[in-house]
A and B are shown apart, each in its own frame.
Chain A
């Protein structure tokens, strides 16, 4: 088992505990041991608190990184926003000595120092790089054969690519491969590259953008929309309902967080995965059943 610190952030543990449950179910089956960190805070969020004071934002983020360093492990996140904050912090402090000194002066107030010994991975990148697509496939006992899955990458998993170094932001393939590993069929909607709009405070802009985006998702006839970020998820669940009502459009593609889909494919019961709390429920998943393991 390889050990990694789990940085849960705010949205998943508080708003979507089913996602955390799915992660804790699926990672050990992939040979990853979860190390829980004591005393983590908000990453802090890369939109609001960063807008107030970048220095304070960096300092709190560096404190979270110190918690993983103290355990001597790398860290993974389950939210693209947390990934953005922590990866950018690591990158800035690594590149800019003066900034590192300023942040470490603040950390000295609480007896900590950022050293840069723990790296940050988004959980999707973690399973791609540490586990691998083939090893994921081997844990699947409920293949999602023929399931049409539209994919939304969101912004902060891929960009800025010079910092994230995850995949080609102009033509990524990671999530398609992760979905294929479950036996499902990825389909790309035309506006796959668009932002979900959850992070801007304007109202019309994200509404119009989401309408365009959801139109192209609907055009694919995908059965579910797969996501790896809880912020995007909320925009595609309750947000989708709101947009559908506002524009009187028939948008209804159930969003699913990838690790819930993975846990389901690994055999966790549908009714244990919290799908009933979603506005759009992925009931289509219920047609798949656990296959008898092949003869050894």
Chain B
């Protein structure tokens, strides 16, 4: 790791760590003792040269998160397979820490294009595959009724962030 060579001074960025700890299950990395059990079974570590869940958790411990949540973030290589959570003897759930950091990226407006598109489809239609007459025609072939509409006013009410203080 370029930023944490032996002898080099590492300044822990507590602001980053506090922000991450606010996310659901974001603070689990604190329990990581760097054993590396997550690495051997990680498809992204096997099939890329730069993705290593142990190193990612180390950067989180140092608070070097800004290296992880930039616009070219390697976190998007995570396959979300949960092998790391399965292997971790400390219940760190690296995959959940990674998703929490993706939440931090979203707060900064950083998403890969494909990801943003799926999110937008969900937020406007309540589905990841929007309704269409072509779909309803296919469904009719199998004797199935058209897709029912999603009550979007309820979905919008739920995804609205909580007011700053007091109300929630």
A→B interface (CB under 8 Å): 10-11, 13-15, 17-18, 20-21, 24, 38-42, 44-56, 58-60, 63, 92, 99, 102, 105-107, 109-110, 155-156, 159-161, 169, 194-195, 197, 199-202, 204-206, 208-209, 274
Is A202 touching B76 in the complex (CB atoms < 8 A)? yes
Query: Least Cβ distance of A285 to chain B in Å?
Result: 18
Is A48 touching B79 in the complex (CB atoms < 8 A)? no
Is A20 touching B144 in the complex (CB atoms < 8 A)? yes
Is A21 touching B114 in the complex (CB atoms < 8 A)? no
Which of the listed residues B79, B122, B158 has the most CB atoms from chain A within 10 Å of its own CB? B158
Query: Least Cβ distance of B5 to chain A in Å?
Result: 27
Task: Give 12 new A-B contacts, CB below 8 A, not counting A49-B122, A50-B99, A110-B154.
Answer: A15-B129, A20-B144, A21-B143, A41-B127, A51-B106, A52-B102, A53-B161, A56-B158, A63-B154, A106-B157, A194-B43, A202-B77
A-binding segment of B10-18, B57-65, B133-141: B133-141
B→A interface (CB under 8 Å): 23-25, 43-44, 46-48, 76-83, 85-86, 93, 99-100, 102-103, 105-106, 111-112, 114-115, 118-119, 122, 126-129, 131, 135, 138-139, 141-144, 147-148, 150-151, 154-155, 157-162, 168
Q: B135: which A residues are within 8 A, CB to CB? A: 14-15, 17
Which of the listed residues A15, A45, A48, A156 has the most CB atoms from chain B within 10 Å of its own CB? A48
Query: Least Cβ distance of B25 to chain A in Å?
Result: 8
Q: A21: which B residues are within 8 A, CB to CB? A: 142-144
Given A160-B93, A200-B44, are A105 and B168 also a contact pair (CB < 8 Å)? Answer: yes
Is A200 touching B80 in the complex (CB atoms < 8 A)? yes
Contact of B43 among A55, A63, A159, A205 (CB under 8 A): A205
Is A18 touching B142 in the complex (CB atoms < 8 A)? yes
Residue of B nearest to A105 (CB): B168
List 7 tightest A-B contacts by C-beta distance, closest first: A21-B142, A159-B82, A14-B129, A51-B102, A195-B81, A56-B159, A41-B126
Is A109 touching B159 in the complex (CB atoms < 8 A)? no
Contact of B158 among A39, A106, A159, A194 (CB under 8 A): A106
Q: B85: which A residues are within 8 A, CB to CB? A: 159-160
Is B93 touching A107 in the complex (CB atoms < 8 A)? no
Q: A48: which B residues are within 8 A, CB to CB? A: 115, 118-119, 122, 128
Is A14 touching B147 in the complex (CB atoms < 8 A)? yes
Contact of A208 among B47, B78, B144, B155 (CB under 8 A): B47
Is A49 touching B119 in the complex (CB atoms < 8 A)? yes
Contact of B80 among A18, A38, A199, A209 (CB under 8 A): A199
Query: Least Cβ distance of B157 to chain A in Å?
Result: 5
Given A10-B127, A15-B129, A155-B80, are A39 and B159 also a contact pair (CB < 8 Å)? Answer: no
Query: Least Cβ distance of B152 to chain A in Å?
Result: 8
Query: Least Cβ distance of B136 to chain A in Å?
Result: 9
Given A13-B139, A41-B150, are A160 and B43 also a contact pair (CB < 8 Å)? Answer: no
Contact of B103 among A24, A52, A159, A206 (CB under 8 A): A52
Query: Least Cβ distance of B117 to chain A in Å?
Result: 9
Residue of B nearest to A199 (CB): B80
Q: B77: which A residues are within 8 A, CB to CB? A: 200-202, 205
Q: A102: which B residues are within 8 A, CB to CB? A: 162, 168
Query: Least Cβ distance of B151 to chain A in Å?
Result: 5
Q: A109: which B residues are within 8 A, CB to CB? A: 157-158, 160
In the bound complex, what is the Cα–Cα distance between A20 and B157 (angstroms)?
A: 30
Q: B148: which A residues are within 8 A, CB to CB? A: 38-39
In the bound complex, what is the Cα–Cα distance between A195 and B84 (angstroms)?
A: 12
In the bound complex, what is the Cα–Cα distance between A198 and B118 (angstroms)?
A: 14
